[in-house]
Amino acid sequence: MTKFSTKAIHAGQEPDPGTGAVMTPIFQTSTYAQTGLGGHKGYEYSRSGNPTRTALEECIAALENGTYGLAFASGLAAEQAILSLLKSGDHLLSCDDLYGGTYRIFERVISRYNIETGYVTTGKPEDYEKAIQPNTKLIWLETPTNPLLRLVDIRAIAEIAHRHNILLVVDNTFSSPYFQRPLELGADIVLHSTTKYINGHSDVVGGALVLNDHETYEAIKFYQNAAGGIPGPFDSWLTLRGIKTLAVRMRQHEENAFSIAQFLTEHPRVQRVYYPGLASHPDYALAKRQMSGFGGMVSFDFKGTLEDVDQLVRKLNVFTFAESLGGVESLVCHPATMTHGSIPKELRESRGLTDTLLRLSVGIEDIDDLLLDLQQALAD
């Protein structure tokens, strides 16, 4: 079987048969010439399909060892495509620590169509089974979660879901397929915000889904075409370009993140560190079993006030205070006022997401520079 790094560079990306171009061309076209009724070469209109997007979809599917890939204009557009499988009266079951945009679409968009979402507050598989209702149609997991980096046993939840004839969706954005492949553990649909590690350069927004079941694929592909939330050819090309270095980037992200997690664990101004690669993490054993690496995300609780947090992020020089994650550059985010600001404060805090929590997307800069930057920012 072709190895990961080779697939990242070649899957879906054969040299162009017309010109021999090694790099996938940007097919910057909205429509395609047809010879007559039904006489086309596989493409009719670029909302329905575009060769550059096809290359991206095939590549991402190959990286997840899946059969079908679908690309979207954003991670949330990909999420909405999954949710199009639901109908009024259905129930969705989700982990409670999750991206604020996902919570927003659950509570302020699909809820208007009489689709209810229930939340499980622990990672215990038995608690997911207890929360299943007769009308539960989807189980939605992030693992590791955003921003507290908790883990859920994908294989165990998949067994529960399939026993109850429920689809299992896993958001694999934080791990990337380099460190975790949920389909191999029993998931039905894998979700990515390709804006993050897949692209890796903070210069394009996108999303993707990977799955194996043909019937589910056809249903989501119909929605993709009908709703039209697709990436343009240049965005698809940028994402393909980023994928080529995914393996080498992820190795460096993890190496740097582990060093930073260890540094923060020993710092007197840090109350708690969240990183699945630390032996002190409650899900460390599961992380070793279900993932091939621990990723580049580190979160920590800072000892102090909201004003102290503001001063800290203003002092950082190498880390940039910004939303998003997964790029080659290091970012620091304040979830309570940024990525998770759409979650009500009381609910947010009850889930452990406090005003003094910071989330680091550790880049691939020199680790000495990153550690020095944190050290000077954390100094009294």
Q: Is 171 a catalytic residue?
A: yes
Question: Given CA atoms 174, 176, 179, 185 in this order, what sign does their dihedral have?
Answer: positive
Q: Determine which helix (DSSP H) or strand (DSSP E) holds 192, and give its type and residue range.
A: strand 189-192
Which one, of 175, 173, 180, lies nearest residue 79 by Cα?
173
Catalytic-role residue among 90, 96, 97, 171: 171
Q: Is 197 a catalytic residue?
A: no
Catalytic-role residue among 32, 47, 284, 310: 47
Question: Given CA atoms 327, 306, 274, 100 in this order, what sign does their dihedral have?
Answer: negative
Angle at CA 47, nearest 5°, toward 42 and 36? 40
Q: Is 99 a catalytic residue?
A: yes
- Token representation of residue 107: 């509570």
How distant, in Å, are the alpha carbons of 71, 178, 247, 256 from that of 251?
25, 9, 6, 9
- Cα(372)–Cα(377) distance, rounded to whole angstroms? 9
Pairing of strands 331-333, 357-361: antiparallel
Angle at CA 316, nearest 5°, toward 311 and 320? 115
Catalytic-role residue among 53, 68, 90, 99: 99
- Cα(106)–Cα(289) distance, rounded to whole angstroms? 30
Count other C-beta atoms under 10 Å from residue 41's C-beta. 10
Is the peptide bond prior to 182 cis by the omega test (within 30 degrees of 0)? no
How distant, in Å, are the alpha carbons of 60, 152, 162, 340, 371 from that of 116?
31, 22, 20, 20, 44
* Structure-token match 């791990």, residue found: 175
Q: Is 241 a catalytic residue?
A: no
148 phi/psi in degrees, rounded to 5 = -90, 0
* Structure-token match 């021999």, residue found: 20
Catalytic-role residue among 150, 196, 348, 351: 196
* Positions marked active-site: 47, 99, 171, 196
